[in-house]
Amino acid sequence: MPKMTFIETDGTRREVDAPLGLSVLEIAHKNSLDLEGACEGSLACSTCHVVIEPEWFDVLPEAQEDEEDMLDLAFGLTKTSRLGCQIIMTEELDGLVVRLPGGSNNAMK
């Protein structure tokens, strides 16, 4: 089974199983990681914002316009920011490393 690593806000690295076809958001939730996802992956918020480690950023499919629009609302936006709900695990992403930002902007509340 593919694996991925989450780097938590305190720098702790957690390698987890990353089943094919699940989003990074779903994988985080299955592993009790602190990644909100207020809209439950419907691309209506930016609370599942993650920062992709630079060596992985170009491996991902490009963000679509809707994702780019939501990213504009993300807390702590970086050049390698993505929404966890939009990254679907594939064999090619085995070993993916993402960093959890220190907070989120939740416009859903």
In a domain, 1, yes or no: yes
pTM: predicted TM-score of the whole model, two decimal places: 0.91
In a domain, 60, yes or no: yes
- CA pair distance 74, 52, nearest whole angstrom: 14
- CA pair distance 53, 1, nearest whole angstrom: 21
CATH of the domain at 12: 3.10.20.30
**Structural domain boundaries enclosing 55:** 1-97
pLDDT at 102: 77
The structural domain count of the chain equals 1
Residue-wise pLDDT for 17-30, tens only, equals 999 999 999 999 99
In a domain, 25, yes or no: yes
In a domain, 109, yes or no: no
In a domain, 106, yes or no: no
In a domain, 83, yes or no: yes
Is residue 10 over pLDDT 50?
Answer: yes
In a domain, 108, yes or no: no
